[in-house]
Amino acid sequence: MKTVCTLLITVLFFTVALAQETVGGKVIRNTKDQTYNRGEEKASETVDKALDKVEEGIGSIFKKKDKKQKNKKNNGKDIIGSSEPTNGSSSSTSNSGSKNIKVYSKFDFVPGEKIIGFDDFSTTNLGDFPLDWNTNSSAEVVQLQGSDQKWLFMTKDGYFQPEFVSDMPDNFTLEFDVFTRYRSNNILEYQLYLASSSNPKKDLSEEYLYDYIQLKWAGCEGSSKFYVVENNEVVNQNENLNIKDFGCGNEGTEPAFVRISIWRQNSRLRIYANENKVIDIPQAFNSKQKYNVFKLGTKYMNFSETENKDEFMVSNLRYAVGAPDTRSKLINDGKLVTRGILFDVNSDVIQASSYGVLKEIASALSENPTVNISIIGHTDSDGDAASNLTLSEKRAIAVKNILASEFKIDSNRMQTAGKGETEPTDSNNTSLGKANNRRVEFIKL
């Protein structure tokens, strides 16, 4: 028995050693416990099966890992999942409420009504670079364990530009998720730009242009800076910003998830990190320039050798024409359509970042106490029609409930209905079209 145990242990360690080398030419720290999945799922499954066979052979000597628990750790570190901040459809999970929505009580951001650019990387294969983006560096689409959300993982220094964000109107909103973890050195830096360029492809690699707005922050730290440049001259700056949301916990091993929201209204610029407004500049945009470039940048990634490589990812980029005048649309026109009330995927739980939109609607209703409304939910066509109909009805009820409970609007003034996927305003064949179809309508009665 002792000889058999020794042999089995030797086989186990040999198999684990193989699993920690390479799969498909890419280095994997531990195939059984990957933080994110690239494109090697099938190879990983093969190694998993081999390891499971060895574990089964050992029997009672080693207790076999529970499958559900196995995916929660990576080299001893917790794996953090992330819900998608989009109005996902398909089957319904009833909650009819909000998730910590009061946290966003000072959040006055209102997303644009018409989405003109959207990318959640759902149509990009794991391990690939999205077709609608440009770069002078390298990146790939990955997934975090325990989540279907896809992320663009920027693995090297350089710039990354979604080409569908161009010719920015005088009123627009731009939102995206950022994931950061680890900090290999004290000069690691991440950046975002809004810029004017005569040749965006040619200028992709340029850190500084003649007219631009730049926000930069130290990797996994709150230390941040911004610059407003016109005609190659700095006209506004703050090099002592402290944006705590960018900080990673536990010395950089716990990731930071930040929803960045950018709002332009003519010359005014507001930038939010989660619920916190971090920049509000009345004269940020130069009215004489056409801003046509948005790009993200990384500097000094993995500048020094450490066990954990720097992680910088983005997801769920939403680019929309500026928000409508809520009061005019609802009270005077009799109809308001919003795509800014967001729900958890396959759920009627309203995301906390919807607070600004709900507050605007509640203000219009409070100022016009004789106005009654019908709240109508719509979904995209993902999933079956019956489930989508039920989901849209529950989402409409959730909106009514939050207006009544949080904003004290008389529930008798509000009716609800759901249309499911039956009344699309855009194609359901693209991510952009689906994002436009997921909406809530308010009809004056």
Q: What is the DSSP string of 93-158?
A: B---SBSSGGGGTT------SSEEEEE-STTSPTTSPPTTEEESS-EEEEEETT---EEEEE-SSE
Give how far the C-alpha of residue 88 lies from the chain's centroid of Cα atoms, to the nearest Å.
13
Per cent of the chain over pLDDT 90 is: 65
Identify the pLDDT of residue 81. Answer: 31
- Residues 327-334: contacts with CB under 8 Å, at least 24 apart: 327/363, 327/364, 327/367, 330/361, 330/364, 330/365, 330/371, 330/373, 330/442, 330/444, 331/364, 331/368, 331/371, 331/444, 334/443, 334/444
More confident residue, 82 or 273: 273
Please state which of the ranges 21-30, 97-106, 239-248, 341-350 shows the lowest mean pLDDT. Answer: 21-30
Q: Where are the domains of the chain?
A: 2-78, 114-321, 326-444
Entry pTM: 0.76
For 3, left (φ over 0), alpha (ψ -120 to 50), or beta?
A: alpha
pLDDT in tens, 140-189: 999 998 888 999 999 999 999 999 999 999 999 999 999 999 999 999 99
What average pLDDT score do residues 62-66 get? Answer: 32
Q: Which of the following CATH numbers is that of domain 326-444: 3.30.450.20, 3.40.1440.60, 2.30.30.90, 3.30.1330.60?
A: 3.30.1330.60
Cβ 433 vs Cβ 391: under 8 Å: no
Angle subtended at Cα 110 by Cα 104 and Cα 114, rounded to the nearest 5 degrees:
140
275 CB neighbour count, 10 Å cutoff: 20
Helix 385-405 × helix 355-367 angle, to 10°: 60
In sequence order, the 6+-apart residues with CB closer than 8 A to the CB of 303 are 184, 185, 187, 188
Confidence of residue 35 (pLDDT cuts 50, 70, 90): low
Identify the pLDDT of residue 209. Answer: 87
Location of structure tokens 């609007």: 409
Beta strand 311-321 with 373-378 is unpaired
Dist. CA 296–CA 139, nearest whole Å: 12
Cβ 349 vs Cβ 98: under 8 Å: yes
What tokens appear for 329 in the block?
Answer: 């649309």
**Residue 46 burial (10 A CB sphere; 0-12, 13-18, 19+):** middle
For 431, left (φ over 0), alpha (ψ -120 to 50), or beta?
A: alpha
Half-sphere exposure of 365 (CA within 13 A, CB side): 27
231 CB neighbour count, 10 Å cutoff: 10
- Mean pLDDT value across the chain: 82
What average pLDDT score do residues 85-106 get? Answer: 55
Identify the pLDDT of residue 33. Answer: 39
Identify the pLDDT of residue 101. Answer: 75
Confidence of residue 246 (pLDDT cuts 50, 70, 90): very high
Dist. CA 12–CA 402, nearest whole Å: 55
Identify the pLDDT of residue 105. Answer: 77
pLDDT of 72 > 50? The answer is no
More confident residue, 80 or 105: 105
pLDDT of 28 > 70? The answer is no
Identify the pLDDT of residue 52. Answer: 47
114-321 with 326-444: one CATH topology? no
Among candidate residues 361, 375, 357, the one with its CA nearest the CA of residue 414:
375
- What's the farthest any 2 CA atoms get from each other in the chain? 85
Q: What is the DSSP string of 348-392?
A: -PBPGGGHHHHHHHHHHHHH-TT--EEEEEE--SSS-HHHHHHHH
**Partners of 337 in the beta sheet?**
441
More confident residue, 266 or 74: 266
Identify the pLDDT of residue 296. Answer: 97
Side chain identity at residue 432, one-letter code: L
For 16, the 3-state DSSP assignment is helix
Confidence of residue 108 (pLDDT cuts 50, 70, 90): confident
Homologous superfamily in CATH for domain 114-321: Exo-inulinase; domain 1 (2.60.120.560)
